[in-house]
Chain A
Amino acid sequence: MFQFMLGMFIIGSAASCRKELPQINQPERYIAGNFSEAFEAYWNGMNNNYIFWDIDPTNWDDVYKKYQPLFAKMNINDSTDVRKSYTYFKEMTSQLVDSHYALQINSSYVKDSIPYISPADLRHQKQPGYHGNINPNFFYSSIPPKYLDPGYIKGFVNFPEGGQFFAISGKIKNNILYLHFNSFKLNTVLNSTTPNNAQKVLKYYFDQLKSTPNLKGLILDVRSNGGGALADLDLLVGSLTDKAYVIGATRSKGGMGRLDYTPWIPASVHPAKEAKAFTAPIVVLADLNSVSMAEMTTMALKALPTNNATFVGERTWGGNGPLLGNDDFYNGGQFTTGFLKLVYTSTLMLRYKDGKIYEGLGFPPDVEVKYNKAALDAGTDPQLEKAISLIPQ
């Protein structure tokens, strides 16, 4: 009987040998009344929502072990500690591969002087050859008279919520169609019920693309373009193809675990209405400050089934994971905490059709032409000139 009882005891003990299910709370629900809570909210939000753990070099467990005790010692109502936390956040995030990533701190002690922490920004700034955006005026005022045929068209529109969209389009040598725009709000501008000059530019571009016979080539200029709406991909690139095609694949979170993912889902470009395959050479101009949709557009053009696109310029920024404002859609991505106004991070991971993930690396050009400040200051554009030279007459 004793052996039987012992056996039952051992079996009973073994049966209870399961780990407990931890209670993991939504980062938004933490009461950020102290730094311990603020840290837990942020660390757990990242632990469960960040999409790139599969490829990220950051050891997030080590981050917890190192910084949790440091945050626990600080006072959230002490301005010195709040500023110190800024340094800690900067250190913790410095190697994150997500190049959309930005932290916005809510505290009035830092928010005026330090609007956000962007690890990719800090990394790029340390690299040789780093440069900021090309001055919008260069696109708007210098390129058209120097490189475009008379009859070019340009315009801008200011949005009520802030921000400005501008676009320039025209012909070069009468048979190369050129388009530059500063952000991907193409559908918004094109379908606006309030007529504006930027809308006229886009209408001109799409009309010329459809109606100009014997176009020798196309130059799409997404340099210093910060990205925008993914829906613009089918409008812009879809106007150059008559059939849907795959540019790569995306995946999202498939559970709470860092390595819980959905399968790779093909990412496709769909032809725009009545679009025909554009078979003449296409040159896409992109640079270090081409981010997000500007990078995806470059990739999509390079993946065209007609295989007629050349990428001229510089390696892009490296932030090409699609991003949504609500983390419920794909069970991952950006979130907020009481202390952090926004943890801005990608929702999906993008893998290009060659099987590589260019997040944090940037998409490389076929023909590298570096940013040349002196040339730009002198009113010339070596990158555009190279693009023009690649289109045979």
Chain B
Amino acid sequence: MKKTCLLLFLCIIAGTLTLHAQWSVGLEAGYNKNYPFTNTGFRAFTEYKPMEGFNIGVPVKYTLNNWFGVQADPQFIRKSYQMVRSGFFDGVYQKNINNYIQLPLMAHFTFGGQKIKGFFNLGGYAGYWASSHIKGTQLDVFSQSYELPDDFQSKRYLDFKPGYNYDEKYEFDKRKDRRIELGLLTGAGISYQLKPRYELFAEGRYYRALTDQQKDYMLNQIPRYNDTFTIQVGCMYRLGK
């Protein structure tokens, strides 16, 4: 029975192929906010925070019928986060700006009218952590203290001594950094048929990493996953007749 159902489902899709099958290619760009799913253990006055990023991609869609298609979005996406210290250590932080080359692959479901349609996507992705940049301020034990009056009361350590500011490329550590990221995605949006071959769309998408950014290199390791929420817009161009 199951096989029959599956066969019937494939036949329906195959039957519509000749009528509706078409390729589309486009361009998309968006803004995102990446939330690191992790914690700081027992570190005091220390917190991980989300950071904004962006993505740009070239979506390629293969429409099988008027409600279903398959889409791949090879893209560049920045998934960043920061570690911020507070209280007496206010001003100490590090931004980790992480650049990924990513290939989302998804089922694309369409519904609605002729001009304006709704859609949702469901699938997975594989990404490669291509490069990383770190920017921040850290305490510098060797820095020279400011000349301050004897009765000076400081609110933060950096009032006593300057910190060290940096903005540099992050060197990956093979022992620790896992550069392949796999995950799931889901998205929803609307599209507008601008011209017979041109379609504009806007989409909100969520990427949920299932692989830790770190290899399993120690016991009691605190994992670090990316949760990325994007808002993107784009335009698709239908190829063929």
Contact = CB atoms under 8 A, between A and B. Distances in A.
Interface residues of B, number: 48
Contact of B83 (A14, A25, A231, A254): A254
Nearest to B46: A331
B45 A18 contact: no
A19 B124 CA distance: 18
B217 A258 contact: yes
Contact of A3 (B5, B41, B122, B222): B5
Interface stretch (A85-93, A165-173, A259-267, A370-378): A259-267
A60 interface: yes
Question: Binding site of B, secondary structure by majority: helix, strand, loop or mixed?
Answer: loop
Contacts of A234: 144
B6 to A, nearest CB: 6
B5 A257 contact: no
Interface in B1-57: 2, 5-6, 9, 37-46
A127 B139 CA distance: 37
A256 B40 CA distance: 6
Contacts of B83: 254-255
A2 B218 contact: no
Interface in A299-353: 322, 324, 328-331, 347-348
A296 to B, nearest CB: 10
A340 to B, nearest CB: 16
Contacts of A257: 176, 214, 217-218, 221-222
Q: For the side of the interface on A, what is the size category?
A: 35 or more
Contact of A259 (B140, B142, B212, B217): B217
Nearest to A24: B41
A386 to B, nearest CB: 31
A34 interface: no
A47 interface: yes
Contacts of B125: none
A15 B164 contact: no
Contacts of A348: 141
A18 B212 CA distance: 8
A3 B142 contact: no
A174 to B, nearest CB: 35
Contacts of A265: 138, 140, 142, 164, 166
Most chain A beta-carbon neighbours within 10 Å: one of B124, B140, B164: B164
A22 interface: yes
Contacts of A175: none
A265 B26 CA distance: 45
B78 interface: no
Contacts of B46: 331
B208 interface: yes
Nearest to A253: B43
A250 interface: yes
Contact of A258 (B38, B144, B218): B218
Interface string A101-113: 0000000000000
Interface string A1-45: 011000000010011011101101110010000000000000010
B219 A330 contact: no
Interface in B181-211: 184, 208, 210
A269 B142 CA distance: 7
B157 A329 contact: yes
Contact of A14 (B89, B166, B184, B219): B184
B94 interface: yes
A330 B220 contact: no
B110 to A, nearest CB: 16
Contacts of B144: 234, 270
A61 B175 CA distance: 15
B168 interface: yes
Contacts of A275: none
Contact of B42 (A2, A11, A48, A268): A48
Interface in B212-237: 212, 214, 217-223, 225
Nearest to A300: B142
A239 to B, nearest CB: 14
Contacts of A61: 218-219
A99 interface: no
Contacts of A230: 141-142
Nearest to B223: A19
A64 interface: yes
Contacts of A250: 141-142
B84 interface: no
A-B CB proximity, top 5 nearest: A26-B42, A256-B41, A24-B41, A267-B142, A259-B176
Given A29-B42, A257-B218, 18 more contacts: A3-B6, A3-B9, A11-B184, A15-B184, A22-B222, A44-B220, A47-B218, A48-B41, A61-B218, A231-B145, A233-B142, A252-B139, A257-B176, A257-B221, A265-B166, A328-B45, A331-B43, A348-B141
8 contacts: A25-B42, A29-B42, A47-B218, A254-B94, A255-B43, A256-B43, A258-B218, A322-B141
Interface of B: 2, 5-6, 9, 37-46, 83, 89, 94, 122, 124, 134, 138-145, 157, 164, 166, 168, 173, 175-176, 184, 208, 210, 212, 214, 217-223, 225
